[in-house]
Copies of this chain bind each other. A is one copy, B any other.
Amino acid sequence: MSPRTSEQFKNIRLKKRQLIMDAALKVISEKGYHTASIALIAKESGVSKGLMYNYFKSKEDLLIAIMVDGFSKVFDQYVIDNRLSPEENVMMLIEQTFDVLDTMQETLMVYFSVLMNNEVFTLVKDKLNEIVEPIMEGFTQVMARLGYENPIAEAYFLRFILDGISMNYLLIPEQFPKEYCVNRIKQIYITQK
């Protein structure tokens, strides 16, 4: 009946969709969301401007897709293992943070810039919370096992520290005291009570 099986078409579409998203992530992380024009993203993708709208119904839609995809990948790397001691879990969290920072700089730059733009942020706020929530629960469990009286607040506190570190690691990588920070957090949560 049809010239190509729907399976074939689906594969073509999925691959190209990812191609466009990768190119868009690159361009947006370099130039920012507003300055990264559809024309430029299309060029980077090696695709016509018109085709973009075959895959994403708007520029906004494209941004949301990139963000959700990126965050899922980012936060999939955070794993709590309850068979390990809470101290070991904290160490893992720190290492995972820097792993993510080293491997997903582009995603995170876009993440932070979008975060600080209320207009765009509201578009993805709920989706992000869905993704972050389980991680925060893991943080809280670890803090409870470490004996903190208010493990929820302590989990937030660690998150804030890691946010500040992440932001600056992306902004000033060359002068960032990475090793010092790693040891300092370990000292706070492990060496000392």
* Residues on A facing B (Cβ under 8 Å): 30-32, 34-35, 109, 112-113, 115-121, 150, 152-154, 156-157, 159-165, 167-168, 171, 176-177, 180-181, 184, 188, 192
Cβ contact of A117, chosen from B32, B167, B180, cutoff 8 A:
B32
Cβ contact of A115, chosen from B119, B120, B150, B171, cutoff 8 A:
B171
Closest B residue to A162 by beta carbon equals B164
29 A–B contacts from the bound complex (CB under 8 Å): A30-B118, A30-B119, A31-B118, A32-B34, A32-B119, A34-B34, A34-B35, A109-B116, A109-B118, A113-B113, A115-B171, A121-B171, A150-B180, A153-B181, A156-B180, A156-B181, A157-B181, A159-B164, A159-B168, A160-B164, A160-B165, A160-B168, A160-B181, A161-B161, A163-B163, A164-B164, A164-B165, A164-B167, A167-B167
CB of A94 to closest CB in B, whole Å = 13
Please give the count of copies of this chain that the complex contains: 2
Instruction: Give the chain B neighbours of A164 by CB distance below 8 A.
Output: 159-165, 167
Cβ contact of A163, chosen from B113, B118, B159, B167, cutoff 8 A:
B167
Closest B residue to A111 by beta carbon equals B116
Instruction: Give the chain B neighbours of A162 by CB distance below 8 A.
Output: 164
Instruction: Give the chain B neighbours of A192 by CB distance below 8 A.
Output: 192
Flag if B32 contacts A118 (CB, 8 Å).
yes
Instruction: Give the chain B neighbours of A115 by CB distance below 8 A.
Output: 116, 167, 171
Cβ contact of A188, chosen from B32, B156, B181, B188, cutoff 8 A:
B188
